[in-house]
Amino acid sequence: MTSSRSEVVIIGGGLAGLSCAVALAENGREVLVLDKKPHVGGRAYSFRENGFDLDNGQHLFMGCYRATRRFLRTIGTEDRLDVYRDVVVDYVEAGGRRDRLSCPSWLPAPLHLAAGLLGLKHVSLAEKKSLIAFDIALKAMKSGPVPDAIENMTVRAWLTSLGLSANFQTRFFDPAAIGILNEKPEAASAAGFIQALREMFFTGRQSSRFALANVGLSRLYCDAARDYLEARGSRVMTNVKAASLIEEGGRARGVVADSGERFEADFVVSTLPPWDLKKLRLPDVLRGTWESLLPAPIVGATIKLDRPVMTERFLGLLNTATHWVFNKTAIHGIKEEGQTLAAVISGAHREIAYSPEAIMDVIKRDLTSCLPDFSAARIGFSKVVKEPFATLSPVPGSEAKRPLPGSGMAGFAFAGDWTRTGFPATIESACVSGYAAAAAAVKPNE
């Protein structure tokens, strides 16, 4: 049985693991990142197929993603993230009827959101009056923990309690909640939605700006982070599956792989999601209610068409199984006669069991009903990707089960998008947790 030693071992090479590793390497620490997959990137990576860089899932970034942008800036790829000045979201429904959320850039936050919501065409003035109660409720929770009574309500129940009509919820709040939480409003806790909204709209106007990677996810951060680490004497090892934690004297001392190889360290950070982490042999002190946290799936498809069918960077689809469609041709600056789209079904608990052909049938039906030009386009290539464990399912009661990032035991820290960062389980939550775990790893006498 072979063994090696590092200052810090990090289990998991996704955004949390790589941001943690980069923060430690930046401060002169020798780090070893272990990942069970043949590549890094965790649940956010890209791969090459049929001449395309395909993301395993489309991700929308936000201006309030400060830890994410710090990480990208450190590894030299922040310029691969395009941040859009105007906060504009176009929506379309069956039959092609459209609406637009357009938040004036000259208004301070959160007034620009209020102006955008008041400008929705297909929500009546009487329905918009409920925004007063929504504004009061959100301002009352603009900092600190979300009250337990609210955390135990679903997004749907909370919004309804404020007097927001079903139509208003359908036309703005539902798409926002589904996109942020990867769970339907009837199932998701209001806590994560509130956490996201207050970061986006109460921390400055720039926080609500949208951003999209102009390259595949692996080119955005995976390759550059690995290069950064290796240039500083740290290592990344793939195809290594952690099996147990080494514990001596009440302190974590490293990791044992399922191959039997030992990776000893002064400190261990686990960025594994709870459904994977609980399978490891762990000290009893690390066991807890976090083990009952469950995943929410995403399915999506990349579709190459012989002609353009939309001009927007992305569109929200209303009252359809497909929630969003992204114009990859525009986002990535692809030079082509046709158009490449990425369609997303979030919280896809039903669709995850479908065959790729059945998923494509759902997406084609929705795009045909919403985009008048889609039916005339020919599909030259399509690729369906299923992510059954895409994110944490943020059901009521789950917030209290999320351990704080950086907590754990002597010599060990939890990290990952699923930890209690003050964000729902997003890319930003992953990076926030990575920096928190890095800080825990360098505390003296711990």
- Name the CA dihedral angle for 271, 267, 70, 33, rounded to a multiple of 10 degrees: -60
CA distances from 278 to 20, 194, 271, 293, 350 (A): 21, 29, 12, 10, 25
The total of structural domains in the chain comes to: 3
Using the predicted structure, report yes or no on whether residue 50 has a pLDDT greater than 90. Answer: no
Residues 39-46, mean pLDDT to the nearest whole number = 94
Residues 47 and 68 in one domain: yes
Residues 271 and 335 in one domain: no
Residues 56-72, mean pLDDT to the nearest whole number = 94
Residues 273-285, mean pLDDT to the nearest whole number = 97
**213-247 tens-digit pLDDT:** 999 999 999 999 999 999 999 999 999 999 999 99
Expressed as residue numbers, the domain containing 323 is 295-392
Closest CA to 192 of 245, 237, 154: 154
**83-104 tens-digit pLDDT:** 998 899 999 999 999 999 999 9
d(CA 438, CA 8): 9
Q: Do the strands 210-213 and 61-62 form a parallel or antiparallel pair, or are they unpaired?
A: antiparallel
**Using a CB cutoff of 8 Å and minimum separation of 24, what contacts does 55-59 make?**
55/216, 55/217, 55/302, 55/342, 56/217, 56/385, 56/387, 57/298, 57/300, 57/344, 57/385, 57/387, 57/390, 58/300, 58/324, 58/326, 58/342, 58/344, 59/213, 59/217, 59/427
Residues 183 and 299 in one domain: no
Residues 340 and 360 in one domain: yes
- Residue 289: φ, ψ to 5°: -65, -15
Q: Do the strands 46-49 and 87-93 form a parallel or antiparallel pair, or are they unpaired?
A: unpaired
Please report the pLDDT score of residue 248 as a whole number: 96
Q: pLDDT exceeding 70 applies to what percent of the chain?
A: 99
**Residue that is written with structure tokens 């759902």 in the block:** 362
Please report the pLDDT score of residue 275 as a whole number: 98
Residues 197 and 228 in one domain: no
Asked whether residue 219 is domain-assigned, the answer is yes
Residues 284 and 306 in one domain: no
Residues 201 and 236 in one domain: no
Residues 371-400, mean pLDDT to the nearest whole number = 97
Please report, as a single letter, which amino acid is at residue 174. D
Residues 373 and 436 in one domain: no
d(CA 294, CA 389): 9
Asked whether residue 98 is domain-assigned, the answer is no
**173-189 tens-digit pLDDT:** 999 999 999 999 999 99
Question: CA angle, 153 as apex, 149 and 159 as ends, to 5°?
Answer: 110
Asked whether residue 11 is domain-assigned, the answer is yes
Asked whether residue 182 is domain-assigned, the answer is yes
Q: How many CB atoms lie within 10 A of CB 379?
A: 15
Using the predicted structure, report yes or no on whether residue 172 has a pLDDT greater than 50. Answer: yes
| Last-in-domain residue among 184, 206, 228 | 206
Asked whether residue 96 is domain-assigned, the answer is no
Residues 327-347, mean pLDDT to the nearest whole number = 96
Please report the pLDDT score of residue 241 as a whole number: 97
Residues 299-324, mean pLDDT to the nearest whole number = 97
CATH at residue 366: 3.90.660.10
Strand order in the sheet with 61-62: 61-62, 210-213, 81-83
| Last-in-domain residue among 152, 174, 206 | 206
Residues 381 and 253 in one domain: no
d(CA 135, CA 117): 12
Q: Structure tokens of 79? A: 């310029």
Asked whether residue 99 is domain-assigned, the answer is no
CB distance 22 to 229 below 8 Å: yes
Please report the pLDDT score of residue 205 as a whole number: 80
**97-146 tens-digit pLDDT:** 999 999 998 888 888 999 999 999 999 999 999 999 999 999 999 888 99
| Last-in-domain residue among 372, 392, 412 | 392
Please report, as a single letter, which amino acid is at residue 394. P
Mean pLDDT, the chain, rounded, equals 95
Residues 6+ apart with CB under 8 A from 256: 242, 243, 244, 245, 246, 262, 263
CB distance 310 to 325 below 8 Å: yes
Closest CA to 421 of 413, 430, 412: 430
Please report the pLDDT score of residue 142 as a whole number: 87
Residues 177 and 128 in one domain: yes
Asked whether residue 100 is domain-assigned, the answer is no
Asked whether residue 92 is domain-assigned, the answer is no
CATH at residue 283: 3.50.50.60
Residues 329 and 364 in one domain: yes
Please report the pLDDT score of residue 444 as a whole number: 55
What band does 446 get if pLDDT is binned at 50, 70 and 90? very low
What band does 1 get if pLDDT is binned at 50, 70 and 90? low
Residues 6+ apart with CB under 8 A from 164: 127, 130, 134, 173
Residues 377 and 412 in one domain: no
